Amino acid sequence: MEKEKYSEELNVAVRVVHMACGLCQKVQKGLLGNALDNDEVKSKDDDSLVTIADWSVQATVSWILSNTFGCENVSIVAEEDVQTLSKPESAGLLGKVVSTVNECLAQASRYGLEGPDKTLGPSEILEAISRCNSNGGPLGRHWVLDPVDGTLGFVRGGQYAVALALIDNAEVVVGVLGCPNYHMKRDGHNKQQQNHISSEVSVPSPDMLEEGCVMYSKKGTGEAWVQPTVYGDSKYEWPNFAKQVHVSPIDDPALATFCEPVERANSNHSFAAGLASSVGLRNKPLRVYSMVKYAAIAQGDAEIFMKFSRAGYKEKIWDHAAGVLIVQEAGGVVTDAGGRSLDFSKGIYLESLDRGIVACSGTKLHEKLIGAVYARWESSSL
């Protein structure tokens, strides 16, 4: 039945993201208790950061997907490679990754998944990571994974996300976002209570670390759902405690809250600020690491996410696929700055992206922003 299409994939994806969130929380607690310049945090060639959580989540998700659906049936596009881990001087780092992955996979049965029947060795962990070598494209099914989206937020104790999506013939059909430091919206909570999506750099309190959520959706359902993350010795129960999320009904720019990236390196804050002013946005922008920005729109904590990249920067599909689907199925609108749907058919990059990305809770706000982009673009330096 068409209604059941992708149901198994969604089920497995939600479970493995819950697993990955638990892994990340343990690693983050360890990082917050140590100096951030230790050997658990590395810089990549583009000066972005990578931690043992990035490699460990990628290995875990890769192993589970391959074991569940068969290696020959699984194509994975993911951010990390094994270049750093494979160096002789990285033996200690690789050992920590191997230990972290095996500890996580040993818990697979708690999430209704099948783990390995024996401890995985370094070569098997490296193989699982390097198996994520697909470049995507217009045909076939491709899983798209960002193991820790917002690594800088992760190492600073802020927001980050585990993002997993399934693309089928260039369409995002399953999207899952694990947000370990982002709370579910409680019944009766006021939108103005934004502390749970604060981007402030601070060490979370113990109770904050014990709240988080996994948000997910399947294409064409018109539904997006959120669950609390699994803690302690409790077992994951599908779909217990799931709650449907909806975008905010606010369409007055003066009342709307907009999100943007924290980093200035690949995002033009000044252009976004001018655009916000021109359409009457009065609230201060909420600068948040990672795809938590999409989750905030999906459950009504914010109305707008804008990102206008600086010249030369190319958006990657793993930074958007899962979040875009969840916002759309929750009732929102996501396009490029020219008003066109995002194109996930060109490989690992959003190659045909027009100027930037605009996500909104509704069509009224979206139309105003797209119109303002056209009006202001000629005078910009982008």
Residues making up the annotated binding site for Mg(2+) are 79, 146, 149, 319
Interhelix angle 52-69/122-130, nearest 10 degrees: 80
Q: Which residues have CB under 8 Å from 89's CB, separation 6+?
A: none
Q: Which of 54, 68, 100, 335 is catalytic?
A: 54
Buried b (16+ CB within 10 A) or exposed e, 243-269: eebebbebbebeebbbbbbbeeebbbb
Distance of alpha carbon 116 from alpha carbon 124, whole angstroms: 11
Question: Is 151 considered catalytic here?
Answer: yes
From the list 144, 178, 181, 174, the residue with the least C-alpha distance to 161 is 178
Distance of alpha carbon 269 from alpha carbon 111, whole angstroms: 41
DSSP code of 122? H
- Where is the binding site, in residues? 79, 146, 149, 319
For 177, the 3-state DSSP assignment is strand
Q: Which of 151, 229, 257, 335 is catalytic?
A: 151
Distance of alpha carbon 152 from alpha carbon 155, whole angstroms: 5
Distance of alpha carbon 64 from alpha carbon 16, whole angstroms: 7
Which active-site residues does the annotation give?
A: 54, 151
